Amino acid sequence: MSFDSRVTRVTAFASLGILSATQDLVRSVLPSLTDAASPELVAEETLALVATVTARAAEVGLQGTLAEVVGAALLETPFLYHDYLLGGQLVAEGSEGEVEVDQSVYERLGRKMEFYGVHFPVGQFPGPRALADKLPLWMGRISPPKLPTTPGERLGETGLVDLLTTHLRLVLAFAQRVASE
């Protein structure tokens, strides 16, 4: 199997997983956050988290140049998804020609990606222990103020560490299989 086809297969597989896992996490966590939570913030923050940890899982499964290329592509997911949503909005509105793009969205996404990149370093698989240690940070970032429980308590009630661990193990196993072909 060629370098390009391996990049394509792992990137496509992991990208589908990113979107699916993000939807599952958002759907699971929103009810625990009360009506004061911003669904857009929860979705954006969750997509940044899931894209980062998925990139790390794929990188560990692939190693070397293949890992670098796929990891970089997966880290683009939040930005590309924003572009996709923006494009859909423009098509629905029947907009033609040039549209002014709000660059602050890309800056905000960049800060989120940097945050998760620091907490989930390159070359390390984000397993259950790392997720259990770091997901309370994510929960705190998506939670409205003055909830009666801590982010760690809310996280413990959801089972989201297991959900995300399953996703990451699946991406890791797929990447390892493709790398060995």
Encode pLDDT of 78-103 as tens digits.
999 988 877 766 666 666 656 667 78
Instruction: Find tokens 């797929």 and name the residue.
Output: 174
Encode pLDDT of 108-151 as tens digits.
999 999 999 999 999 999 999 999 999 999 999 998 888 888 88
Domain residues for 170? Answer: 3-180
Total of domains in the chain: 1
pTM of the full structure: 0.92
